[in-house]
Structure 1
Amino acid sequence: MKNSEFAAFVMTYERPETLLKTIRNLQEQTFPPAFIYIIDNSETKATRLAVEEMAGEDVGYYRVGYNSGPAGAARIGLKVLANRGYKWIYWGDDDDPPFEKWVFEEQFRVLENLEDVQKVGILGGKGGRLNRTTGRINTFSNHELEEQPILEVDSVPGGGSMLVNARVVREEILPDKKLFFGFEEFDFCLKVKKNGYRVLANAEIWLKENSKAGFNNKDFKWKASNFGKREVLWRDYYSTRNLLYIYFKNHFYKAFLFILVKSILKSFAGWRYGWNYGRKNFSLQWRGILHFLAGRFGR
């Protein structure tokens, strides 16, 4: 694999300084992408002006003109880079670059050693498997990661060093822009698998990232919980709405009902964190449910 066949896109929204650090991170990789395409959802000119200062043959810029969300930006980035003939595309966020400079080199080393690599649609540096009853995307313990260097997964999360096979994009398998924000990577991964491609996670990279973060216990398994945190509460609207849509669309009816009931219960459970949190949480959970039922998506 030559790096001339590898490109990256990075989506951004009103974080020019953070974006510039991420661009430098990608350029300093031991196997850097030949081209870095910035998809700017910003509403001001600050990001464009910052990127122009370092733009060159290896950095391009596209201003969407409105906030299309991660889902819309990823759709643009994948289509443009696939149409330009690149074979593999890095799906990047402005605030979550690869954790070490050798990550891409390691990912492509793995791809070169896989049989029938053209049937690999996505390779990530981490991932999860879907429980089709509870709708939960389960991750892996360090012990499980040590047992199998390459894992078959159902999802690669944002910030998971996701590489996308451009063949997938040329077959018009693309992120759903109406999701806007929240589980757009998961929905995309499910589409890729549904069309006969494999979605894989590199367990060796994942273990090294856990180790760097100090998570060395063999039983350690990452589990995020934001319930009760007001600063990220706004995300629950998108999570509820989009998961209901994804599970219903894919006929995962047990998972759909589980998430529906869970969201209703969460709408009441939030009151234990106080009046302000409870009121906001109740509103967001029910808005997510009702907007799914009404078919109202986007921002």
Structure 2
Amino acid sequence: MRYAAFIICFERPLALIKYIDVLRSQSEPPEYILIIDNSLDDSIDKLNLDKKYAEVNYFKTGYNAGPAGGSKLGLKKLQALNYQWIFWGDDDNPPRDNQVCSELFICKEKLERQGIVAGIIGGKGGMFNKWTGTIRSLSNKQLKAKDIIEVDMVPGGHGMLINTHYLNEKTYPEEKLFFAFEDLDICLKFKKQGAGIFVDAKSWYKKRQLDKNGDDSYRYVKKSGTRAGDLRRQYFSSRNLLFILKENRYFFALAYNIFKIVIKSLWSFRYGFKYGKKFIYYHKKALIDFFNDNYILNIPLNK
């Protein structure tokens, strides 16, 4: 299968090299690999990757576009080269083995034999609740029921294969989001265009078994951290989710999440006054920036 891949990177040269090696070693490797370098230093540029690898091409953004801006650049550039399928990569989360891409294309072929043309196929995914704005992963019981399952979204760093037939100015990731939920953004846009989104349930379940998570009732549940770095991530997550809910006219979920931020801000003091103060700082800013339509990267990252 002729396809291309892009890898978004930021000042992690060793992680990027590992990702490239894993991608090149796929049983069905991409024909063309585009590096989208968001780095503010020259640690990636110095690697001279496009000289070391014939299939690797390098593009430096000149600024930190984040995963949202980086993915938009990668998709647009590879679509312009007339690739129908594009693999979305992030430097700190390489494919788990050398069969990932092949397994995704097997799913594509199975769907096509059923008369289904997929918009996005991924290694993992979940269902989006338009009333609460939450994403629920699939249980092992669900994964065992079918080899391929239709979902609402696929995370960008977990084996995401995109059909460029559905890519246009209305469906590219919103670059101003910078970080967090750019994958949900593009998935919801694809679904509006009538594109189906699917996950390789069979391979996903096998991976859980290898990780000793094989019980039928098991499903992944993301937990919020209490470190400063986690709070900075929550700023982007909260702000961007509100934007996506508004754009998709999920107004009940929008009101619900604003209310949830307020309640969680008060409840955050159970971890101590210092943590509660920081939690309120980041989430208050998320609300203010959302209402002011402010998506400039201006939060102090060391506060």
The interval holding the TM-score normalised by the smaller chain is over 0.9
Other structure's SS at 2:44 match: helix
Structure 2 CA distance for aligned equivalents of residues 243 and 251 of structure 1: 12
Structure 1 CA distance for aligned equivalents of residues 222 and 119 of structure 2: 26
- Comparing 173-182 and 203-212, the one that deviates more: 203-212
Check conservation: 1:241, 1:289, Cα contact below 8 A: yes
Deviation at 1:53, TM superposition (A): 7.5
C-alpha spacing 1:260/1:171, structure 2 compared with 1 (3 Å):
closer
Residue from 111, 120, 123 that aligns with 1:122:
120
C-alpha spacing 1:264/1:140, structure 2 compared with 1 (3 Å):
same
1:112 aligned onto 2:109: yes
1:271 aligned onto 2:269: yes
- Comparing 204-213 and 84-93, the one that deviates more: 204-213
Q: TM-score, normalized by length of structure 2?
A: 0.93
Check conservation: 2:49, 2:56, Cα contact below 8 A: no
Structure 1 CA distance for aligned equivalents of residues 263 and 269 of structure 2: 11
Offset from partner CA, 1:135-181 (integer Å, 9 cap, x none) = 11111111111012211111111322000001122565201001000
Offset from partner CA, 1:44-76 (integer Å, 9 cap, x none) = 001111243763321010000000110000000
Offset from partner CA, 1:104-125 (integer Å, 9 cap, x none) = 1111111112137773110011
Structure 1 CA distance for aligned equivalents of residues 172 and 253 of structure 2: 23
Structure 1 CA distance for aligned equivalents of residues 270 and 225 of structure 2: 11
Deviation at 1:270, TM superposition (A): 1.5
Query: CA RMSD, aligned part only?
Result: 1.6
Structure 1 segment 117-266 matched on structure 2, within 5 A: 119-170=117-168, 173-266=171-264
Check conservation: 1:7, 1:89, Cα contact below 8 A: yes
Q: TM-score, normalized by length of structure 1?
A: 0.95
Q: Among the aligned pairs, what percent are the same residue? A: 38
1:25 aligned onto 2:22: yes
Match in the other structure for 1:40 = 37
C-alpha spacing 1:276/1:146, structure 2 compared with 1 (3 Å):
same
1:79 aligned onto 2:76: yes
Check conservation: 1:111, 1:117, Cα contact below 8 A: no
Match in the other structure for 2:7 = 10
C-alpha spacing 1:55/1:268, structure 2 compared with 1 (3 Å):
farther
Code of the residue aligned with 1:93 in structure 2: it is D
Deviation at 1:133, TM superposition (A): 1.6
- Comparing 47-56 and 231-240, the one that deviates more: 47-56
Q: Which runs of 4+ in 1 moved over 4 A?
A: none
Check conservation: 1:20, 1:51, Cα contact below 8 A: no
- Comparing 156-165 and 115-124, the one that deviates more: 115-124
Offset from partner CA, 1:250-287 (integer Å, 9 cap, x none) = 01112111111111111122111122221111100110
Match in the other structure for 1:65 = 62
- Comparing 273-282 and 237-246, the one that deviates more: 273-282
Q: Size of the alignment, in residue pairs?
A: 296
Structure 2 CA distance for aligned equivalents of residues 28 and 213 of structure 1: 23
- Comparing 150-159 and 176-185, the one that deviates more: 150-159
C-alpha spacing 1:117/1:182, structure 2 compared with 1 (3 Å):
farther
Code of the residue aligned with 2:228 in structure 1: it is R
Structure 1 CA distance for aligned equivalents of residues 90 and 50 of structure 2: 20
Deviation at 1:232, TM superposition (A): 1.6
Deviation at 1:213, TM superposition (A): 1.9
